[in-house]
Chains A and B, each alone.
Chain A
Amino acid sequence: MSKGIPGYSRYRNEVDTLETLYELGWYRENMPRPLLGGGFLYCFLSYVRMNKGGNKKMKEQLKMIEQEALEKILQAKTTKELQDIKVTYLGKKGSLTSVLRGMGKLSKEERPVIGELANKVRERLTLSLEEQLEKLEEMALEEQLEKETIDVTLPGRPVRLGGQHLLTKVIEEIEDLFIGMGFEIREGPEVETDYFNFEALNLPKNHPAREMQDTFFITKELLMRTQTSPVQARTMLEYGGNKPVKMISPGKVYRRDTDDATHSHQFTQIEGLYVDKDVKMSDLKGVLDVFTKKMYGSDRKIRFRPSFFPFTEPSVEIDISCKACEGKGCSICKGSGWIEILGAGMVHPNVLSMAGYDPKVYSGFAFGMGPERIAMLKYGIKDIRQFYTNDIRFLTQYHNA
């Protein structure tokens, strides 16, 4: 509170006001206590009673002292000077005191008038001294702080913070989106059986479509899963054919591809499945529309194109309208205005019945997407190998919110 109460000096003679301010909780250092002033007033009054008549001269004297003192106060440059001024004017041997000593000569009527005046002079000088002292202290502090100046442009102490891999970021974003639509997240083994990776998905041995995915086999019956779809079959089996399944399953998958800019022998996939009574193909369209709009922006449109997957019938591929050209056709969408992002379809009745769901009662849809592809599209990444090189300059690019 070195600056005091704003505008306080206007009320310097208004003790009542001061008291009100105290009551309101204001506080001021070096505040002249009204009680002290009272004591002083008492002495002063008795003095006035003794000395009647010479008041005019005394008034002038007081005015002079005040003026002289105020000038000196304002010119003071150090606290020492202020202390000296205080002694000179207000001290026991100070000029104001000596003037007051002569008050005994005044008449009984004049004494209170001069007393009040002297009191006010004292108050004003005291306040002025305090104000000047405060000002000097402030200046001294400013001077001191000025010396403590630092270079704010120097770099801060680095706070070490790691961050998510971009693929994790994309996967968690998708997970959260589907959780919001009532889906749960299921996981399954990466070393799968031939049965769950193929047969349970309507791909019996020697089915020509098996060649669509070149597989890393470990033994005749065990392999690196080529898709996250086996989690569909496993979850349905676990649920026993009599309650709805609403799940997504993100995870790693493996295919015999030579690594290049657009192929990776290991990549991630997110499989989705919803099985219930009366699930319609239009529900698939609705759910994926919500997904794409949240993931890619509300101005994206989706398009269903017939396709083929052994475990769905009908099967579709889903394109979104190209953001770069707004559907007019450009190099990113190869001139078509559309970009393929998902495969989907209605769960094949064979898949349902193999997993214990009666296709006459239950129907469902399934979809699959590739987080790498999604990230590549969203962030303009040209080479899929970037995800697995883990170059720190690549990873940190995506650590902003």
Chain B
Amino acid sequence: MLVSLNWLKNYVDITDISPEELASKITKSGIEVDGIEYVAEKSEHVVVGYVVSCEKHPNADKLNLCQVDVGEEEPLQIICGAPNVAQGQKVAVAKPGAVLPNNFKIKRVKLRGVESNGMICSLQELGIEEKYVPKDVADGIYVFPKDVTVGESVEPLLNLNDAVLEFDLTPNRADCLSMLGVAYEVGAILNREVKLPSPNPKEGTEEAKDYIAVEVEAKEANPYYGAFVIRDVEIEQSPLWMRNYLIAAGIRPINNVVDITNYVLLEYGQPLHAFDYDKLGEKKIVVRHAKTNEKLVTLDEQERVLSQDHLVITDGKDPIALAGVMGGLSTEVTDTTKNVLLEAAYFDSSTVMKAVKSTGLYSDSSTRFTKGVDPNRVKEAGLRACELMGKYANATIAKGVVAYDALNREQKQVKVNVTEINKRLGTLLQPADVEDALQRLQFKFEKRSQEYLVYIPTRRGDISIFEDMLEEIARIYGYDKLPYTLPVGAGQAGGLTERQILIRKIKGIMEASGLMESRTYTLISENAANTLISPELTEANYVPIELALPMSEEHKYLRLSFLPEILRILTHNRARNEFDLGYYEIGKTFLTAESTLTKQPEERLRLAGAVTGNWVHHPWQQENKLVDFYVVKGILEKLFNYLNVAVVFKPCKHKDMHPGRTASLHLKGETIGFIGQLHPRLQKQFDLKETYVFDVDVEGLLEAYKNEPTYEEIPKYPSIGRDIAFVLDHTVLAAEVKQVIMDVGAPLVKHVSIFDVYEGEHLEAGKKSVAFHLVYQHPEKTLTDDEVQASYEQIIEAVKKKFNAYIRS
């Protein structure tokens, strides 16, 4: 809502307060003023001039040589290029020395040998935005009505000195979608009187009911429909002041009839519609729901196909308007209109909302209807328009209004208790404070012992319960006067849950391992939503969830994996010459096997990451190491050890992963994720070098997490170490050999580690050597060499047999 302060001055005295100060007060009291716009920059030395004569420039066809009387001794000779300049006009003249907006300085000049002593201005040149300039003067100079005085400054005449406050209204404050509502608000804030117009149209002798009949079928959707008949209108420009106010409010003036309906819309907040009476087929207004596939060509020349959800105004036969949204083209008021039927109606907000949504027609009218208009202003607004039509369109107003009226105009009542107010606000308000606030708001009330019974004016549709009144009183009293207190309730001990602590720790481990935390989008492209999905999710037939109405292909599906987005981060950074990168993210994935969701999906926390480039990069000591599988595996092992969960790595195939360098992760028999090198095809697609990724189900880890460190006696007896190196087929898995050693060596073998892996020239092709270090220990005695040797030999035999291995000498 754009609020012209010059316009507002008609209702409430704000002459002694600067626009900035007023804006700040309004903002503090509840309506955010987004900005203060001045209609135009200051223009001095611009006055009304009378074009005494206008001839062709002797040396230029397109220029006119004008003598302009500006109220000084001699007329000014001015050269003007505008096509619409003519003798006898009253125009805006910028005299030499004037400075127009954009610092345009007017000087005496010679144009093609002839002196020019100023400039005849267009509205644009005076600073009015192009889109608000009336069409008749859009391509030339501005021409004043005859009644202005020569020599008078144009600034007040054209409202160039006006300041406009831009209100950012919250949806509840529909009352301030009208100048009268704003006047009430400002009156309450400044504690000043509000002067309202009291419309009193001069009515003729003929009765409106002889010209029109009104019938409402859709009574729920249209509790009030008033029709005014305005005869013998003279379509012309509306008065200058009205044009000025409309421009300030952001509406382009058109003609007096249209301007008056717009003016009253802004003044009262009540949308009106003017039909060309003579174009109504049957002289009977019928308001009903549209028939399926019924058609209406609206004022914007679009054909609208309607449904039964739409409310239409008909002339007894055909739709002539989409109620509350837009009029029809067939009954539009034009320059030749003689008689007008003016509609002042109350349409139900949800009906209008449906029509707005289905047509996408947001207008000043529909906005007000959807937010609710004041039932006590509907008819009054019609009367106000009639009054102005009589004055400014020289029209005759038929007597009375023809109306269907089932409108509830009753005021709501709310009980307000001073003790309760203080209890809720933490204040010490006195009854006088409450009464002061109510008086300033102009809410009528009755005092009943400790309580006030407040009658809520119908303009304030947002107030219906005690809490609403609490806000009104608090904001008028001033929130800055509220004390600062801290809750006294016992409450609970705040803190993180075990789960929250663990998640923070998991993040800490990832970061201590050298990975950066990323935050990517949940909504991803179709391709990304089907890439790098963990095997257990694929097995469970989970499908990415699709948005009903995505904004773009990029953000269309809910993620099952964040890896594609993390890879995009790597790509982004590589393009900026950052090559050694490691990221992780912990967040939700959205799991469902339903193709159309009927219930909320399962939201499971996952941990995923990707690493590329050098893992160690320390060039001057020749210490460079590219990231490999085991770097990333080491990070996960650290995490699993921390959580005390036994995760098993098994070779695995995945369409998006390197076939020989990928493992699936298993915990208690369940697959919980995967790790490995990205398939070179994907590496190329993302413009990456060798890249390793992992993706783990955090929920699974947290379920298995054991928070009981089992105490183990520190061994009293010495341990004995033995080393052993097997030559194995390349394909034999070290973990399986290790398992055999553990099994056969139990219970004496306490620990087995791998300390060397070799493949190369000293071994035959297809073979590898893996060296194990075994630690023997007995809890209750010192083991003898013989005992160890016996076990050692058993192990060797078992491994030889099972894996076709031999001892490397």
B428 shortest CB reach to chain A, Å: 11
Instruction: Assess whether B615 is interfacial by the CB under 8 Å rule.
Output: yes
Complex contacts, A160 vs chain B, CB 8 Å: 513-514, 582, 615-616
Complex contacts, B519 vs chain A, CB 8 Å: 165, 167-168, 387-388, 390
CA distance A363 to B576 in the complex (A): 53
A218-B547, A287-B486 are contacts. A280–B514 as well, Cβ < 8 Å?
no
Complex contacts, A164 vs chain B, CB 8 Å: 507, 511, 517
B134 shortest CB reach to chain A, Å: 32
Complex contacts, B480 vs chain A, CB 8 Å: 303-304
Chain B positions 458 through 479: 1 when the CB is less than 8 Å from some CB of chain A, otherwise 0: 0000000101101100110001
Instruction: Assess whether B114 is interfacial by the CB under 8 Å rule.
Output: no
Instruction: Assess whether A53 is interfacial by the CB under 8 Å rule.
Output: no
Q: Which residue of A has the minimal Cβ distance to B586?
A: A168
B589 shortest CB reach to chain A, Å: 10
B30 touches A266 (CB 8 A): no
Instruction: Assess whether B714 is interfacial by the CB under 8 Å rule.
Output: no
Complex contacts, B497 vs chain A, CB 8 Å: 184-185
A contact residues, total (Cβ < 8 Å): 85
B721 shortest CB reach to chain A, Å: 31
A280 touches B511 (CB 8 A): no
CA distance A217 to B590 in the complex (A): 15
A343 shortest CB reach to chain B, Å: 11
Instruction: Assess whether A163 is interfacial by the CB under 8 Å rule.
Output: yes
Q: Which of B425, B495, B547, B617 contacts A184 (CB 8 A)?
A: B495
B467 touches A304 (CB 8 A): no
Q: Which residue of A has the minimal Cβ distance to B578?
A: A392
**CB proximity to A under 8 Å, residues B607-629:** 615-618, 620-621, 623
Q: Which residue of B has the minimal Cβ distance to A164?
A: B517
Complex contacts, B572 vs chain A, CB 8 Å: 389-391
A191-B545, A211-B171, A393-B578 are contacts. A282–B484 as well, Cβ < 8 Å?
yes
Q: Which of A216, A280, A392 contacts B581 (CB 8 A)?
A: A392
B522 touches A276 (CB 8 A): no
Of the candidate stretches A58-66, A88-96, A173-181, the one touching chain B is A173-181
Complex contacts, B597 vs chain A, CB 8 Å: 191, 218-219, 222
Q: Which residue of B has the minimal Cβ distance to A282?
A: B426
B32 shortest CB reach to chain A, Å: 7
Of the candidate stretches B103-111, B280-288, B548-556, the one touching chain A is B548-556
Instruction: Assess whether A349 is interfacial by the CB under 8 Å rule.
Output: yes
**CB proximity to B under 8 Å, residues A70-107:** none
CA distance A185 to B499 in the complex (A): 11
B26 shortest CB reach to chain A, Å: 10
CA distance A162 to B309 in the complex (A): 58
Chain A positions 246 through 286: 1 when the CB is less than 8 Å from some CB of chain B, otherwise 0: 10000010101010000001100000001011111111011
Instruction: Assess whether B353 is interfacial by the CB under 8 Å rule.
Output: yes
A314 touches B511 (CB 8 A): no
Of the candidate stretches A29-37, A123-131, A138-146, A150-158, the one touching chain B is A150-158
Chain B positions 488 through 522: 1 when the CB is less than 8 Å from some CB of chain A, otherwise 0: 11111111110010001001001111111111111
Instruction: Assess whether B423 is interfacial by the CB under 8 Å rule.
Output: yes
B409 shortest CB reach to chain A, Å: 21
Complex contacts, A254 vs chain B, CB 8 Å: 522-523
Complex contacts, B424 vs chain A, CB 8 Å: 280-281, 346, 363
CA distance A217 to B138 in the complex (A): 45
Question: Most chain-A Cβ atoms within 10 A of its Cβ — which of B173, B353, B485, B488?
Answer: B485
B494 touches A208 (CB 8 A): no
A238 shortest CB reach to chain B, Å: 14
Q: Which residue of A has the minimal Cβ distance to B35?
A: A334
Complex contacts, A252 vs chain B, CB 8 Å: 522, 587-588
Complex contacts, A246 vs chain B, CB 8 Å: 491-492, 494
Chain B positions 353 through 397: 1 when the CB is less than 8 Å from some CB of chain A, otherwise 0: 110000000000000001100000000000000000000000000
B650 shortest CB reach to chain A, Å: 28
Complex contacts, A209 vs chain B, CB 8 Å: 171-172
B contact residues, total (Cβ < 8 Å): 98
A305 touches B479 (CB 8 A): yes
User: Dominant SS at the B interface?
Assistant: mixed
Instruction: Assess whether A323 is interfacial by the CB under 8 Å rule.
Output: no
Instruction: Assess whether A134 is interfacial by the CB under 8 Å rule.
Output: no
Complex contacts, B511 vs chain A, CB 8 Å: 161-164
Instruction: Assess whether A190 is interfacial by the CB under 8 Å rule.
Output: yes
**CB proximity to B under 8 Å, residues A377-401:** 387-393, 395-396
B475 shortest CB reach to chain A, Å: 4
A208 touches B600 (CB 8 A): no
Instruction: Assess whether B159 is interfacial by the CB under 8 Å rule.
Output: no
A179 touches B471 (CB 8 A): no
Complex contacts, B494 vs chain A, CB 8 Å: 178-184, 246
A314 touches B523 (CB 8 A): no
A157-B618, A346-B424, A392-B578 are contacts. A282–B482 as well, Cβ < 8 Å?
yes
B522 touches A162 (CB 8 A): no
B353 touches A208 (CB 8 A): yes
B489 touches A306 (CB 8 A): no
CA distance A256 to B552 in the complex (A): 10
Q: Which residue of B has the minimal Cβ distance to A389?
A: B572
Chain A positions 183 through 197: 1 when the CB is less than 8 Å from some CB of chain B, otherwise 0: 111000111110000
A388-B521, A391-B572, A391-B573 are contacts. A161–B514 as well, Cβ < 8 Å?
yes
Instruction: Assess whether A206 is interfacial by the CB under 8 Å rule.
Output: yes
Chain A positions 278 through 302: 1 when the CB is less than 8 Å from some CB of chain B, otherwise 0: 1111110111011000000000000
A162 touches B603 (CB 8 A): no
Complex contacts, A175 vs chain B, CB 8 Å: 496
A179-B495, A281-B425, A346-B424 are contacts. A208–B615 as well, Cβ < 8 Å?
no
B517 touches A283 (CB 8 A): no
Q: Which of A287, A348, A393, A396 contacts B467 (CB 8 A)?
A: A348
Complex contacts, B590 vs chain A, CB 8 Å: 190-191
Complex contacts, B685 vs chain A, CB 8 Å: none
Instruction: Assess whether B336 is interfacial by the CB under 8 Å rule.
Output: no
Chain A positions 327 through 347: 1 when the CB is less than 8 Å from some CB of chain B, otherwise 0: 000000000100000000010
Complex contacts, A163 vs chain B, CB 8 Å: 511, 516-517
Chain B positions 148 through 176: 1 when the CB is less than 8 Å from some CB of chain A, otherwise 0: 00000000000000000000001111000
A40 shortest CB reach to chain B, Å: 50
CA distance A254 to B546 in the complex (A): 14
Q: Which residue of B has the minimal Cβ distance to A207?
A: B171
Q: Which of B32, B487, B583, B584 contacts A279 (CB 8 A)?
A: B487
A218-B546, A285-B484 are contacts. A154–B471 as well, Cβ < 8 Å?
no
Chain B positions 571 through 606: 1 when the CB is less than 8 Å from some CB of chain A, otherwise 0: 011001010011110011010000011111101000
Instruction: Assess whether A20 is interfacial by the CB under 8 Å rule.
Output: no
B570 shortest CB reach to chain A, Å: 9
B551 touches A286 (CB 8 A): no
A278 touches B423 (CB 8 A): yes
A319 shortest CB reach to chain B, Å: 9
CA distance A314 to B473 in the complex (A): 10
B425 touches A280 (CB 8 A): yes
Q: Which residue of B has the minimal Cβ distance to A280?
A: B426
Instruction: Assess whether B427 is interfacial by the CB under 8 Å rule.
Output: yes
4 closest A-B pairs (Cβ-Cβ)? A282-B426, A306-B30, A314-B471, A160-B514
Selected A-B contacts with CB under 8 Å, 27 pairs: A161-B512, A162-B515, A184-B492, A184-B494, A185-B496, A189-B603, A191-B545, A191-B597, A219-B598, A224-B523, A244-B490, A246-B494, A258-B551, A265-B523, A266-B522, A278-B489, A281-B482, A285-B483, A286-B487, A304-B482, A307-B170, A314-B475, A315-B471, A316-B479, A317-B32, A390-B519, A393-B576
Given A179-B496, A217-B548, A308-B170: 8 more A-B contacts, CB < 8 Å: A168-B517, A184-B497, A216-B523, A216-B550, A224-B522, A283-B486, A315-B471, A392-B581
A contacts, CB < 8 Å to B: 154-155, 157-158, 160-165, 167-168, 172, 175, 178-185, 189-193, 206, 208-209, 211-212, 216-219, 222, 224, 244, 246, 252, 254, 256, 258, 265-266, 274, 276-283, 285-287, 289-290, 303-308, 313-317, 336, 346, 348-349, 363, 387-393, 395-396
